[in-house]
Structure 1
Amino acid sequence: MTKLIDDILLLVLTELRFDPASLYSCILVNRTWCCLAIPILWKYFFYYYNPYAHKKESRKKLYNVIFHFLPKDKLSELNINLPSNPISNKLLFNYMDFFTHLSPIWIEDMVQLSIKTDSPSVYKKILLEFEIYLLIFSKCKNIKYFDWIKNKWLFLLCPNVKEFFSGIHQLKINVEYMAPELLFSLGIINITDLEVINSKDNDDLISFIRMKNNLPLLCIQLSDMISKNAITLKKIILRLTITLISPTFFPSLANLQYLILYNDDDGEFYNSIKWKEWELYLRMSFFPNLQYLETSYLPCNIECLIIERSGGKILEINICRTLESRDYPIENENLIRIVSNYCSKIIRLTMVINPINFNLVGNIFSNCVHLKKIYYMKENNNMFDKDVLNREQYV
């Protein structure tokens, strides 16, 4: 077989990045294939938030390599014998350099698979978890994504936690498990992607009340963090009560490319005076690089302002909203007009179209020459039908 140039082989192997079984087979071909495939396998094995996307045996093999780097003497004193299958030969790679994504649920899985769940010693599990964090925070210098959506906090006790978070570029947090002082203490900077969610899956009444009480102050801290990272931020996803977020950071988001605003406020957004503040700061803003916009349950004038203040580079828009407003037909007409006037490069569009404004869709096709499909929802007996309108069908 003719030998492939390494650069070409690397491109081929990268296409298998989400197929760990095939990558593992490639590792066994020869040394060249192994050296190229190992970093890809390790980088993307942790790409998913959920470790259970991989087979149990595959996870055990990977964890066994990680355990090789843990301080064995310290763990032996605690009667924790890891790894279960010691590696006798010298490792060919510094595997810790290949980590790019980290979620506490992966650390939890490492501990659960290493110490039997029926073990009476919870203390052992906590110590092992802490040692894994110490190892990762000190050795894994290339981690750029941190997924903090579980009630895990042990890593905050690591002495170099602030140094670790200073290197994080992509951060996902769940406000349900977040205390306001945590964001302030970590001093997070240089974030390019930020996702904030509120899962509302806590059945503990006391924790739920605590979260509700913390949320206003936490949102103030979030707004401050966004302001400090405004220059580097390219992607923002906010899935919580939007009106609790101060919009003062919007004028600084000059490099924003991807924006999702999901307003989770029980459908009372029309009654909030906070939207006046949002409107004020949006009028002072300009998003010259915005390419993707998705909104849920925002007032129409806010959606229109974001589109108006974009630089005409938006490629995709997804808008979901209710029909509660008495002025909805007029608002819908205005939104269609704004899209047709300011989105000449748009390719995909999803929105609700009031039946009396359906004839205005032609304006979008006339001005948005790159548009391929419109996914539109129409009211039908208080329900929404979703249809696809192709350019070929319309012209």
Structure 2
Amino acid sequence: MACQLPADCLYEIFEYLEESETSLFGCLLVNRSWCVVAVRILWRNIWRFLKYFTIQNQFKNETIILNTLISCLPNESKELLQKIIPTFTSKTPMFNYAGFCRVLSIQDIGRIIDNVLEPSIDSIGSSINSLSIKYRNNLIAREIIKNFLRQISSLRRLNYCVDNYSILNNISFIGTNNCLTNLTELHCSSSIKSDLSQICHNLQSLSIKFKENVSNDLKDLISLQKNLKNLKLFFYGTNDWKDIIPTLTKSTNTLITLHIYSYYCKDLSLSFIASFLNLQEIILGFEGINLEDFKELQNIFFPKLQILRIPYQCFKLEYLINFLKKNGKNLKELHIDGGNKNLNLYIAKFCPNLKKLSIILSNKLILKTIFMSCQYLESIKIWWVGRKSEMKIFKTILKHSPKNFCELKIFNNSQSKLSPKDLKYFFIDWKDRIPFTLIVIKGYYNSLEANRKNMKIIKKYKKLGVIKNFEIKEFYEEEIDIF
């Protein structure tokens, strides 16, 4: 008889496969024991798999998910919905899928319902004629959400960004089996109308999309938080958001990460950031604006700051240099979305303890200077704008990189000229160092992987253990994950 691992052992093993959707889906098909364990992990956050759907299979997979969600409803809900969506199954599901969830996305529920039911409006029958499409979809969504909240024992993350589904903006969470008592992460809109403030006082992460005025419900929710550590603010165009700053600054002692993103929002003040002196991570992302306001932050010292990502093109160089002069020594990670020769030299001068760095580079001598000054550097992401072969980078890495350096991410804005011969010699010389990680970021031009001989060399030295990891990423995959 074959050895059967106990469920708790399988669970520990499958935990490592959580980020690999293909492997986990394969585990569903092995046997009943494997299926029982794998399905629990998959459904903890079923929404994250939506991003893997291609245009060709999106409708099919979203239909399966919607069918499953409806099949989990209690009989009274099924009877109600059967009158308006008779084409959907009412079979009893194999598992209580809703009870496995630890992440609930109201936004994705609304979007799936819209996507799946919209093409079948004409085929549903005359029973829908007396109902508006919006009312029908809202009714379905509310029944599904109500069932989730009834079945989930403890929710850890809630996505309540319903800009496109404002009809879902006033869901009551009171009396929902206490599943939100220990909620730690919330994504919501600035106009949220909800009684969450009466339940959720232990949020650690809060993400807010500003598209309308700030609601009093959101202000109440923020003011009642006891241990808010992570804050994301996302602005579109012109927003009336300044009145929320007094509420935000009540968390000055607990906040350790702050992310701010803005698209063409010209009236955006950053001076309030100076209140959060315990920040360990600041990420700023802006498009279409030029912020003079950073002048107010250039001389502020953040004693615990270790990670900084900032768009070079939005600030005057002197402000950024002054900021690095004050804070650069403590930085462990620095990501500059832009830059020039002078800025790179100041990075080498003021940021000696960096472990990770992302810059635009066109000169191998600047890279040498950075390596010589930043002796703790382990990883660098280079947006290479040189016309000559990127082998200049590889040779500089061999000769001058610190002993713990082991990772290169490279984006080339021209056709790759890296030869298999040069790549081979690089890995031969690297064999006695820490195994190398190479990540190629693809843009409009062919990168080094376009040459089959290059890929053979990479495969060979990966087997030999010289290469720890090799990845090819599309440019958009390197964009900041906002929500």
TM-score, with length taken from structure 1: 0.71
1:366 aligns with 2:372: yes
Whether the 8 Å contact between 1:107 and 1:132 is mirrored in structure 2 is no
Whether the 8 Å contact between 2:283 and 2:310 is mirrored in structure 1 is yes
Give the counterpart letter for 2:171 in structure 1. Answer: C
Whether the 8 Å contact between 1:286 and 1:309 is mirrored in structure 2 is no
Whether the 8 Å contact between 1:286 and 1:311 is mirrored in structure 2 is no
Aligned positions, number? 355
| Alignment partner, residue 375 of structure 1 | 382
| Alignment partner, residue 202 of structure 1 | none
Whether the 8 Å contact between 2:71 and 2:89 is mirrored in structure 1 is no
Match of residue 197, structure 1, among 234, 242, 248: 234
TM-score, with length taken from structure 2: 0.60
| Alignment partner, residue 36 of structure 1 | 37
CA displacement at 1:295 relative to structure 2: 3.0
CA displacement at 1:350 relative to structure 2: 1.3
| Alignment partner, residue 133 of structure 1 | 145
CA displacement at 1:148 relative to structure 2: 2.5
Q: Quickly say closer, same or farther: Cα 1:77–1:31, change in 2 above 3 A.
A: closer
Instruction: Find the residue that maps to 1:286 and give its secondary structure.
Output: coil
| Alignment partner, residue 264 of structure 1 | 287
Q: Quickly say closer, same or farther: Cα 1:48–1:29, change in 2 above 3 A.
A: closer
Whether the 8 Å contact between 1:143 and 1:167 is mirrored in structure 2 is no
| Alignment partner, residue 92 of structure 2 | 88
Q: Quickly say closer, same or farther: Cα 1:320–1:311, change in 2 above 3 A.
A: closer
CA displacement at 1:347 relative to structure 2: 3.2
Instruction: Find the residue that maps to 1:133 and give its secondary structure.
Output: helix
Task: With a CA cutoff of 8 Å and minimum separation of 6, indicate the structure with the bigger relative contact order.
Answer: 1
Q: Quickly say closer, same or farther: Cα 1:35–1:365, change in 2 above 3 A.
A: same
Whether the 8 Å contact between 1:144 and 1:170 is mirrored in structure 2 is no
CA displacement at 1:128 relative to structure 2: 1.9
Give the counterpart letter for 1:88 in structure 2. Answer: T
Alpha-carbon deviations, 1:346-368, whole Å to 9, x = none?
23331467x7xx75554421231
The equivalences for 1:127-206 within 5 A come to 127-137=139-149, 139-140=151-152, 141-146=154-159, 148=161, 150-160=163-173, 161-163=194-196, 169-175=204-210, 177-181=211-215, 184-185=218-219, 187-188=221-222, 189=225, 190-198=227-235
Question: Could you tell me the percent identity over the aligned residues?
Answer: 15
Q: Post-superposition, which runs of at least 4 consecutive aligned residues in structure 1 deviate over 6 A? A: 385-388
1:275 aligns with 2:297: no
CA displacement at 1:369 relative to structure 2: 1.8
| Alignment partner, residue 358 of structure 2 | 349
CA distance in structure 1 between the partners assigned to 2:36 and 2:277 by the alignment: 40
> Which runs of 5 or more residues in structure 2 are unaligned?
123-127, 174-193, 401-483
Match of residue 101, structure 2, among 86, 98, 103: 98
Whether the 8 Å contact between 1:336 and 1:361 is mirrored in structure 2 is no
Give the counterpart letter for 2:157 in structure 1. Answer: K
Cα RMSD, aligned residues only: 4.1
Whether the 8 Å contact between 2:162 and 2:168 is mirrored in structure 1 is no
Match of residue 291, structure 1, among 303, 307, 311: 307
CA distance in structure 2 between the partners assigned to 1:35 and 1:279 by the alignment: 55
Give the counterpart letter for 1:67 in structure 2. Answer: I
Instruction: Identify which range, 94-103 or 165-174, moves more after superposition.
Output: 165-174
Q: Quickly say closer, same or farther: Cα 1:364–1:149, change in 2 above 3 A.
A: farther
The equivalences for 1:301-380 within 5 A come to 301-304=318-321, 306-308=323-325, 310=327, 312=329, 314-321=331-338, 332=342, 336-351=345-360, 359=365, 361-371=367-377, 372-373=379-380, 375=382
